[in-house]
Chains A and B, each alone.
Chain A
Amino acid sequence: MKDNNKKKLKLKVSAIKDGTVIDHIPTQNLFKVISILGLDKIENQITFGANLESGKLGSKAIIKVSDRFFEDDEINKIALIAPHAKLNIIRDYEVAEKKVVGVPKEITGIVKCFNPKCITNHEKMTTRFRVVATSPIALRCKYCEKHTVGDQIKML
């Protein structure tokens, strides 16, 4: 049964020659990951799958991007919405390197400050947070200085 699923998965998401595979993305955050990484604005070949079975997440999504490789600080931007994401860097159909996502020290944009009286919720401006704790994640707003913690974290 398990082998069958694996075969099906392979059929659904074709292999790439060179590029990056981002696996173990929570399905509900797939499009946010695409947007945060700017994959909706590039011309590379991209295949993605959603609602795939995953032991860890229940349901997961996967993205395969041809000829695109990410710097650590680029990929760390998705830490808040896909903390368990794993990256396989593919060269000539082989996994050349594996990477995991790390929580960055600072978060610029992406997240909304949960304080309704924060200036960032009233002006057209970029939010900025310092990560003050990682489990659960706690973000200190640079502007109102309040902490946005765990479930309070909402994406913009």
Chain B
Amino acid sequence: MKRDLISITDYSKDEYLEIMKLAAEFEKNPNQNLLEGKVVASLFFEPSTRTRLSFETAISRLGGRIIGIADPGSSSTSKGETLHDTIKMVSNYADLIVMRHSLEGAARYAAEVSPVPVINAGDGANQHPTQTLLDMYSILKTQGSLDNINIFMVGDLKYGRTVHSLLMAMSEFENPIFNFIAPPELQMPAEYKMFLREKGIRFFEHREFTDIISEADIIYMTRVQKERFSDPIEYEQVKNVYILRNEMLAKTKPNLKILHPLPRVNEIHTDVDKNEKAYYFTQALNGVYTREAIISHIMNLK
């Protein structure tokens, strides 16, 4: 039976750890010709430069060949072809499909239609599981473990799919603590808080940055987007509240690392970049190793 990766919860804790192990191997030795002779379709129905480049780098380092759509305006979709038909056609050509789509559930549907494995590279506001796995790899690498991690999630916790998936995945590990820092309009949704309560996992909610971040092992920053606010005045009031500046890191733990799924706009001041606790660019590089690991796992190459 073929294996896909559509939602982070499709995988078990053991599989997360298996992928982490493989990612560490690829970090030591990124160029391995495991995909030699294979064709991978990279279907970006919605543009995403960072994720696409990361996947295509991973495929290239594995020696695979890439066919694909990078500019949806020029693709068959704009001529009115259904997703079903596009996937049917492409799955005849390729051994693996990596896809991003603006509609939620598109990847799950593609996986049903396609006889070859599908990796979800983001479906609307729903899921982006490879981001979550690279976030986990970054936590494991910098903290030495995925157990006993105190994670601060900051910014847009309502719509941010990366924080939701990371919350679900980290809840599989021992004794996590979550701290949520968000404006009232962008709080962590009730269903996730209920999920944590049911699992007996501790979490705390805050309206702003305070000295409390001195307890953090990980600060996970996200972008607060203007278009999320129904009232522009509210945005103006909060837009500068969720900006991380270097001086705020003075009393934080030595093992603290700052993560961000990127792109950053202004929520992490550039003066943080030179701080050794800034980890977001390395985190992006970890994405290549993690995606090599995911592809190898799904294709049974290792």
Do these two chains really belong together in a complex?
yes
Inter-subunit contact A145/B109 (CB<8 Å) = no
The CA of A124 and the CA of B80, in the complex, are separated in Å by: 13
CB distance from A96 to the nearest CB of B (A): 42
B67 interface residue, CB < 8 Å from A?
Answer: no
CB distance from B19 to the nearest CB of A (A): 21
Cβ–Cβ < 8 Å partners of B123 in chain A: 119, 144
Given that A143-B109, A144-B105, A145-B104 are known contacts, is A119 also in contact with B125, CB under 8 Å in the complex? no
CB distance from A145 to the nearest CB of B (A): 6
A8 interface residue, CB < 8 Å from B?
Answer: no
Inter-subunit contact A144/B104 (CB<8 Å) = yes
The CA of A152 and the CA of B127, in the complex, are separated in Å by: 23
A86 interface residue, CB < 8 Å from B?
Answer: no
**What is the size, in residues, of chain A's interface with B at 8 Å between Cβ atoms?**
16
A42 interface residue, CB < 8 Å from B?
Answer: no
The CA of A146 and the CA of B83, in the complex, are separated in Å by: 20
Given that A118-B105, A145-B7, A146-B104 are known contacts, is A123 also in contact with B124, CB under 8 Å in the complex? no
CB closest chain-A residue, reference B103 = A119
CB distance from A77 to the nearest CB of B (A): 21
B84 interface residue, CB < 8 Å from A?
Answer: yes
CB distance from A115 to the nearest CB of B (A): 6
B126 interface residue, CB < 8 Å from A?
Answer: yes
**What is the size, in residues, of chain B's interface with A at 8 Å between Cβ atoms?**
18
Most buried by A among B105, B123, B125: B105
The CA of A136 and the CA of B231, in the complex, are separated in Å by: 32
Cβ–Cβ < 8 Å partners of B103 in chain A: 117-119, 122, 144
Inter-subunit contact B104/A119 (CB<8 Å) = yes
**Which listed residue (B7, B83, B127, B191) contacts A119, Cβ 8 A?**
B83
CB closest chain-B residue, reference A120 = B105
Given that A117-B124, A145-B7, A145-B127 are known contacts, is A123 also in contact with B83, CB under 8 Å in the complex? yes
**Which listed residue (A125, A146, A147) contacts B109, Cβ 8 A?**
A125
Interface string of B85-107 (1 = CB under 8 A from A): 00000000000000001111110
A85 interface residue, CB < 8 Å from B?
Answer: no
CB interface residues, A 84-132, toward B, < 8 Å: 115, 117-120, 122-125
CB closest chain-B residue, reference A115 = B104
Inter-subunit contact A118/B84 (CB<8 Å) = no
Cβ–Cβ < 8 Å partners of A120 in chain B: 105, 109
The CA of A117 and the CA of B122, in the complex, are separated in Å by: 13
**Which listed residue (A117, A125, A142, A143) contacts B84, Cβ 8 A?**
A125
A141 interface residue, CB < 8 Å from B?
Answer: yes
Inter-subunit contact B105/A141 (CB<8 Å) = yes
Cβ–Cβ < 8 Å partners of B191 in chain A: 147
The CA of A42 and the CA of B171, in the complex, are separated in Å by: 52
CB closest chain-B residue, reference A142 = B108
Given that A144-B126, A145-B126, A146-B104 are known contacts, is A119 also in contact with B82, CB under 8 Å in the complex? no
Question: Which positions in B face A, CB cutoff 8 Å?
Answer: 7, 82-84, 101-106, 108-109, 123-127, 191
Question: Which positions in A face B, CB cutoff 8 Å?
Answer: 115, 117-120, 122-125, 141-147
The 26 sampled A-B contact pairs (Cβ below 8 Å) are: A115-B104, A117-B125, A118-B104, A119-B83, A119-B103, A119-B104, A119-B105, A119-B108, A119-B123, A120-B105, A122-B83, A123-B109, A124-B82, A124-B84, A125-B109, A143-B104, A143-B105, A143-B106, A144-B103, A144-B105, A144-B123, A144-B126, A145-B126, A145-B127, A146-B126, A147-B191
